[in-house]
């Protein structure tokens, strides 16, 4: 799949009909300015996961509408996590462990009209296997897959690994280690 899928996405009328009401919501739109990974905003990442999930589910005859919506909302967490890396938190309270629960709570709050068991489960279980309970529905499995495939860019920069592993305090140590080499 092409990395920049914007044009392909925007010209897919069926997909856009499903996701546009969420994309245009002001609370969701804020995420356009939130850095999520090294090269993408949260808005872009969520849209990419949603579209890949939609395509896979449609091809397989699964519920592509629920897949698209859950994919779009899977990371609908509370605040830009990369701006709060210095905040001291217990390991299991780090972003990687808690943001799926935040995404579910926010999805229920801002988009109650879309919620059903499949969508809710797919959002809250998307961090499997980091969060150890797996998704219950096929569409949820597709989201965990799409999310990981589309997040591979975080592996390219070794210096960024600590923060993705919930070990932001080691970032400077890793950076100076690579400077020495």
Rounded to a whole number of angstroms, the minimum distance from the CB of residue 180 to Fe ion is 33
Identity of the residue, 18 or 70, whose beta carbon is nearer to Fe ion in the bound complex? 70
Rounded to a whole number of angstroms, the minimum distance from the CB of residue 117 to Fe ion is 20
Is the CB of residue 125 less than 8 Å from the CB of residue 100? yes
| Interaction of residue 44 with Fe ion, rule CB under 5 A | no
Q: Quick one: tokens of 164?
A: 């993705």
| Interaction of residue 120 with Fe ion, rule CB under 5 A | no
Say which residue the tokens 């799409």 belong to: 146
The residue range among 52-60, 80-88, 140-148, 162-170 that interacts with Fe ion, by the rule CB under 5 A, is 140-148
Q: CA-CA distance, 83 to 100, in Å (whole number)?
A: 18
Backbone φ and ψ of 103, nearest 5°: -60, -40
Count the residues of the shown chain that bind Fe ion, applying the rule CB under 5 A.
2
| Interaction of residue 147 with Fe ion, rule CB under 5 A | yes
Rounded to a whole number of angstroms, the minimum distance from the CB of residue 49 to Fe ion is 6
The angle, 0 to 180 degrees and rounded to 10, between the axes of the packed helices 13-23 and 64-73 is 40
Return the SS3 of 165: coil
| Interaction of residue 75 with Fe ion, rule CB under 5 A | yes
Rounded to a whole number of angstroms, the minimum distance from the CB of residue 171 to Fe ion is 20
- Interaction site with Fe ion (CB under 5 A): 75, 147
């Amino acid at each position: 799949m092409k990395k920049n899928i914007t044009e392909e996405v925007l010209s897919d009328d069926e997909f856009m009909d499903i996701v546009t009401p969420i994309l245009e919501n002001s609370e969701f739109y804020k995420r356009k300015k939130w850095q999520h990974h090294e090269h993408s905003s949260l808005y872009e990442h969520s849209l990419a996961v949603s579209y890949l999930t939609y395509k896979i589910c449609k091809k397989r005859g699964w519920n592509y509408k629920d897949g698209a919506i859950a994919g779009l909302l899977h990371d609908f967490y509370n605040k830009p996590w990369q701006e709060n890396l210095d905040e001291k938190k217990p390991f299991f309270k780090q972003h990687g462990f808690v943001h799926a629960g935040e995404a579910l709570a926010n999805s229920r709050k801002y988009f109650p009209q879309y919620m059903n068991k499949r969508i809710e489960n797919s959002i809250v279980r998307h961090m499997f296997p980091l969060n150890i309970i797996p998704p219950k529905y096929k569409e949820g499995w597709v989201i965990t897959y799409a999310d990981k495939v589309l997040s591979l860019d975080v592996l390219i920069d070794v210096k960024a690994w600590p923060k993705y592993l919930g070990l932001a305090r080691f970032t400077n140590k890793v950076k100076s280690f690579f400077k020495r080499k």
